[in-house]
């Protein structure tokens, strides 16, 4: 069912809001600058407890105000009804689930994650190694929240190891090497298994939507030698220790893993047009959603921010046809877009004027 | 600031006490009889002078050597290394352990400025080197730092010939799998033991 009610108070430039979407598809239609993206951000925050646009929570608050809150009622397929509340007060964010404060926002993940399609997704294809890792970390985490813990543990060990490097503590580095390898190996195996499944969905989907013959796939290129066991990696880290000490940071490990994209036999980013790159970033999200559905049996909530604009008419239709089954989908459109032509059943349209959403 | 307000402020610095509870306690003391308050004040005042660390294991004690170390009926070939004296209380409460202890005084964490030489580690090595010890149980917490410390000690003691074990971690007894946190569950899966009957 998805969101049946959403309320906001002092959120960005939106007028205090109460909408009851209760349809499978919801369309926010408005000119640029009417805060279309804010509506999707609001839903995203209710799903994850944090934004996809800013890491700093106080930025949610309307200018000049001291606090804000968002509330949503979410109905899940198994008949569950959840009330999620996210508030920022005195610079502190709190998340409540059915009126109980939760400490780890990863708890929200098991409810109903949403998948957001946005312009910035292009950097998952052609951006820095760090940005690309973020996407695949997310792809694993939404299906297996325990991966978040694995990443947190790894990061903690890495930080301690880097501190030991600065002090040239050989005795401690021997220990941190063991811990880093154990934590790192479990991250690598999750990444490589995930990538295999990811490509199985990605290659055919990209072909179908783009109507181009080339095969696209993502290549996982771990920083540590592929296939090494704990013993081999211990020697490997030891051989890199002098370099690590010189730089004052650990230069190898899963925090330096890379993901590259191939188009046929060549590097995708060298060969593809901007249009192809944008399309691939959309297909990334479709695969993320499809994989979530496949793994958990639960259809996700989709948030699509103006993304159809970037596709030509026939690709738009093929793209919409190949969206995986979803619990609920929220689209933003410009007023002159022929959105009524898309086959989107059971829909509600909100027109956005001056930060207000009016039905119809 | 009045005397009462200052008291409330100090009380609310105590662990687990918010301002509300601190205020309640302050008003309770205000209405309590003089003997009670005097007694309590005396106990707080004398705490640090009458309680010290055991010369052998680092536990809190009123005598030079604590009741556990000086108890001849305990198994002195078995040492359990813990982070803090409070951990001894927790383990003692189980009545399952009859060995002796060693308080490390923390865990290795260079980011927080705690290095092995800042902990009571050399003394543990010395105790083990004296020859009567057969097994060292590492009972540091199942955190990154607790693991670091345990691994460090295991390496340090590996040449001593004693058995080194690590406390198993797992699902709390009577606990529901559903409510065990993910990390605990993952850890207990890794550390699973064969079951036979
Ligand atoms: Zn003692």
Domain with CATH 3.40.50.300 in chain A: 1-112+327-360
> What is residue A103's predicted lDDT score, i.e. its pLDDT?
85
Check residue B166 and report its DSSP letter.
Answer: E
Please check the confidence at residue B177 and state whether its pLDDT lies above 80: no
Quick one: pLDDT band at residue B175, thresholds 50, 70, 90? low
Question: Does residue B105 form part of some domain?
Answer: yes
> What is residue A360's predicted lDDT score, i.e. its pLDDT?
78
CA distance B121 to B136: 13
Measured between CA atoms, the residue of chain A closest to residue B185 is: A146
Whether residue A171 and residue B116 make contact (CB cut-off 8 A), yes or no, is yes
Identify the three-state secondary structure at position B91: helix
Whether residue B183 and residue A169 make contact (CB cut-off 8 A), yes or no, is no
Whether residue A160 and residue B183 make contact (CB cut-off 8 A), yes or no, is no
Whether residue A169 and residue B115 make contact (CB cut-off 8 A), yes or no, is yes
Are B149 and B111 in the same domain? yes
What would the mean pLDDT of B120-127 be, rounded to a whole number? Answer: 95
CB B138 within 8 A of CB B150: yes
Mapping DSSP onto H, E and C, the string for chain A reads CEEEEEEEECECCCCCEEECCCCCEEEEECCCCCCHHHHHHHHHHHHHCCCCCCCCHHHHECCCCCEEEEEEEEECCCCCEEEEEEEEECCEEEEEECCEEECCHHHHHHCCCEEEECHHHHHHHHCCHHHHHHHHHHHHHHHCCHHHHHHHHHHHHHHHHHHHHHCCCHHHHHHHHHHHHHHHHHHHHHHHHHHHHHHHHHHHHHHHHHCCCCCEEEEEECCCCCCCCHHHHHHHHHHCHHHHHHHCCCCCCHHHCEEEEEECCEEHHHHCCHHHHHHHHHHHHHHHHHHHHHHHCCCCEEEEECHHHHCCHHHHHHHHHCCCCCCEEEEEECCCCCHHHCCCCCEEEEEEECCEEEEC
Measured between CA atoms, the residue of chain B closest to residue A154 is: B144
Q: Which residues in chain B have their CB less than 8 angstroms from residue A167's CB? A: 110, 115
What would the mean pLDDT of B106-131 be, rounded to a whole number? Answer: 94
Ligand 1 center to B133 CA (angstroms): 15
CA distance B26 to B76: 46
> What is residue A338's predicted lDDT score, i.e. its pLDDT?
79
Instruction: State pLDDT tens for residues A132-146.
Output: 999 999 999 999 888
Kind of pairing, strands B163-166 and B135-138? Answer: parallel
Q: Is A146 on the interface with B (CB under 8 A)?
A: yes
Measured between CA atoms, the residue of chain A closest to residue B186 is: A146
> What is residue A113's predicted lDDT score, i.e. its pLDDT?
83
Cα A187 to Cα A71, A244, B190, distances in angstroms: 34, 21, 15
Q: Is B60 on the interface with A (CB under 8 A)?
A: no
Total beta-carbon pairs less than 8 A apart between chain A and chain B: 45
CATH number of the structural domain spanning residue B21: 1.10.8.420
Right CATH for A119-291 from 1.20.1050.90, 1.10.10.1100, 1.10.510.10, 3.90.1170.10: 1.20.1050.90
> What is residue B92's predicted lDDT score, i.e. its pLDDT?
92
Q: Which residues in chain A have their CB less than 8 angstroms from residue B152's CB? A: 171-172, 175
Please check the confidence at residue A339 and state whether its pLDDT lies above 70: yes
Domain count, chain B: 2
Instruction: State pLDDT tens for residues A157-192.
Output: 999 999 999 999 999 999 999 999 999 999 999 999
Q: Is A176 on the interface with B (CB under 8 A)?
A: yes
Q: Is B155 on the interface with A (CB under 8 A)?
A: yes
Are B32 and B84 in the same domain? no
Buried b (16+ CB within 10 A) or exposed e, B150-185: bbbbbebbeeeebebebbeebeeeeeeeeebebbbb
Quick one: pLDDT band at residue B193, thresholds 50, 70, 90? low
Range of the domain at B45: 3-50
Whether residue B144 and residue A153 make contact (CB cut-off 8 A), yes or no, is yes
Please check the confidence at residue B176 and state whether its pLDDT lies above 90: no
Of A149, A160, A167, which is closest to B148 when you measure between CB atoms?
A: A160
Q: Is A249 on the interface with B (CB under 8 A)?
A: no
Q: Which residues in chain B have their CB less than 8 angstroms from residue A176's CB? A: 148
Q: State the smallest CA–CA distance between residue A335 and chain B in angstroms.
A: 46
Check residue B50 and report its DSSP letter.
Answer: H
Instruction: State pLDDT tens for residues A46-63.
Output: 998 888 877 676 678 888
The predicted model scores a pTM of 0.85
Whether residue A172 and residue B111 make contact (CB cut-off 8 A), yes or no, is no
Quick one: pLDDT band at residue A32, thresholds 50, 70, 90? confident
Domain with CATH 1.20.1050.90 in chain A: 119-291
Q: In sequence order, which residues have a C-beta less than 8 Å from that of residue A7 and are 6 or more positions away?
A: A16, A17, A18, A70, A71, A72
> What is residue B180's predicted lDDT score, i.e. its pLDDT?
64
Ligand 1 center to B69 CA (angstroms): 4
By mean pLDDT, which of A71-80, A201-210, A256-265, B145-154 is the weakest?
A71-80
Distance of CA B136 to the CA centre of its chain: 16
Q: State the smallest CA–CA distance between residue A333 and chain B in angstroms.
A: 40
Quick one: pLDDT band at residue A309, thresholds 50, 70, 90? confident
Is 0.90 exceeded by the ipTM? no
Q: Is B122 on the interface with A (CB under 8 A)?
A: no
Q: Is A164 on the interface with B (CB under 8 A)?
A: yes
By mean pLDDT, which of A177-181, A222-226, B13-17 is the weakest?
B13-17
Q: Is A200 on the interface with B (CB under 8 A)?
A: no
By mean pLDDT, which of A30-44, A99-113, A136-150 is the weakest?
A99-113
Domain A1-112+327-360: CATH superfamily is P-loop containing nucleotide triphosphate hydrolases (3.40.50.300)
Are B70 and B104 in the same domain? yes
> What is residue A198's predicted lDDT score, i.e. its pLDDT?
97
By mean pLDDT, which of A40-54, A114-128, B18-32, B160-174 is the weakest?
B160-174
**Angle subtended by helix axes A170-210 and B144-157, to nearest 10:** 130
The dihedral region occupied by B97, where left means phi > 0, alpha psi between -120 and 50, and beta the remainder, is: beta
What is the layout of strands, in order, in the sheet containing A100-102?
A: A17-19, A2-9, A67-75, A81-89, A92-97, A100-102
> What is residue B125's predicted lDDT score, i.e. its pLDDT?
95
Instruction: State pLDDT tens for residues B79-118.
Output: 999 999 999 999 999 899 999 999 999 999 999 999 999 9
Q: Is B19 on the interface with A (CB under 8 A)?
A: no
Question: Does residue B171 form part of some domain?
Answer: no
Are B149 and B86 in the same domain? yes
CA distance A168 to A157: 16
Of A145, A160, A174, which is closest to B110 when you measure between CB atoms?
A: A160
By mean pLDDT, which of A118-127, A303-312, B151-160 is the weakest?
A303-312
Q: Which residues in chain B have their CB less than 8 angstroms from residue A146's CB? A: 182-183, 186
Are B107 and B33 in the same domain? no
Q: State the smallest CA–CA distance between residue A158 and chain B in angstroms.
A: 10
CB B61 within 8 A of CB B54: yes
Are B136 and B159 in the same domain? yes
> What is residue A236's predicted lDDT score, i.e. its pLDDT?
98
By mean pLDDT, which of A23-37, A120-134, A255-269, B94-108 is the weakest?
A23-37
């Amino acid at each position: 069912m998805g969101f049946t009610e959403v309320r906001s108070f002092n959120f960005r430039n939106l007028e205090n809001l109460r909408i009851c979407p209760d349809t499978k598809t919801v369309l926010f239609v408005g000119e640029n600058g009417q805060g279309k993206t804010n509506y999707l951000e609001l839903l995203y925050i209710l799903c994850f407890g944090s934004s996809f646009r800013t890491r700093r929570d106080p930025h949610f608050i309307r200018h000049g105000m001291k606090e804000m809150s968002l509330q949503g009622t979410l109905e899940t397929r198994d008949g569950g009804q959840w009330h999620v509340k996210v508030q920022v007060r005195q610079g502190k964010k709190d998340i409540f689930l059915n009126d109980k404060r939760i400490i780890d926002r990863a708890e929200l993940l098991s409810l109903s994650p949403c998948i957001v399609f946005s312009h910035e997704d292009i950097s998952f294809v052609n951006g820095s190694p760090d940005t690309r890792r973020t996407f695949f970390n997310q792809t694993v985490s939404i299906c297996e929240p325990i991966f978040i813990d694995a990443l947190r543990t790894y990061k903690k060990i890495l930080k301690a190891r880097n501190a030991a490097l600065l002090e040239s503590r050989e005795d401690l580095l021997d220990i941190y090497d063991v811990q880093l390898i154990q934590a790192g190996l479990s991250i690598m195996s999750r990444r490589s298994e995930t990538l295999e499944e990811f490509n199985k969905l990605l290659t055919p989907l990209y072909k179908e939507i783009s109507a181009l013959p080339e095969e696209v796939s993502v290549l996982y290129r771990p920083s540590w030698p592929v296939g090494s066991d704990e013993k081999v990696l211990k020697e490997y880290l030891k051989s890199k220790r002098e370099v690590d000490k010189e730089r004052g940071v650990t230069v190898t490990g899963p925090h330096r893993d890379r993901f590259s994209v191939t188009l046929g036999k060549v590097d995708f980013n060298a060969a593809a047009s901007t249009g192809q790159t944008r399309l691939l970033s959309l297909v990334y999200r479709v695969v993320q959603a499809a994989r979530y559905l496949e793994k958990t049996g639960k259809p996700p909530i989709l948030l699509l921010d103006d993304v159809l604009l970037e596709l030509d008419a026939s690709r738009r239709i093929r793209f919409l046809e190949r969206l995986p089954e979803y619990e609920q989908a929220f689209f933003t459109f410009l007023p002159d877009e022929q959105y009524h032509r898309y086959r989107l059943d059971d829909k509600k349209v909100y027109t956005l004027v001056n930060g207000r959403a009016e039905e119809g | 600031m009045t005397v009462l307000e200052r008291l409330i402020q100090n009380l609310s610095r105590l662990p687990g006490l918010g301002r509300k509870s601190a205020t309640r306690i302050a008003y309770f003391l205000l209405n309590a009889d003089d003997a009670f308050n005097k007694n309590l004040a005396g106990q707080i005042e004398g705490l640090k002078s009458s309680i010290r660390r055991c010369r052998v294991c680092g536990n809190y004690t009123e005598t030079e050597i604590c009741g556990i170390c000086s108890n001849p009926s305990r198994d002195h070939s078995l040492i359990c290394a813990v982070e803090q004296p409070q951990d001894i209380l927790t383990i003692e409460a189980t009545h399952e352990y009859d060995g002796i202890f060693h308080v490390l005084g923390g865990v290795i964490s260079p980011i927080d400025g705690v290095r092995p030489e800042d902990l009571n580690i050399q003394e543990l090595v010395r105790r083990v080197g004296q020859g009567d010890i057969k097994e060292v149980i590492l009972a540091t917490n199942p955190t990154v730092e607790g693991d670091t410390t345990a691994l460090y000690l295991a390496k340090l003691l590996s040449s001593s010939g004693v058995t080194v074990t690590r406390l198993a971690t797992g699902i709390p007894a009577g606990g529901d799998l559903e409510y065990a946190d993910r990390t605990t569950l993952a850890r207990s899966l890794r550390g699973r033991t064969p079951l036979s009957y």
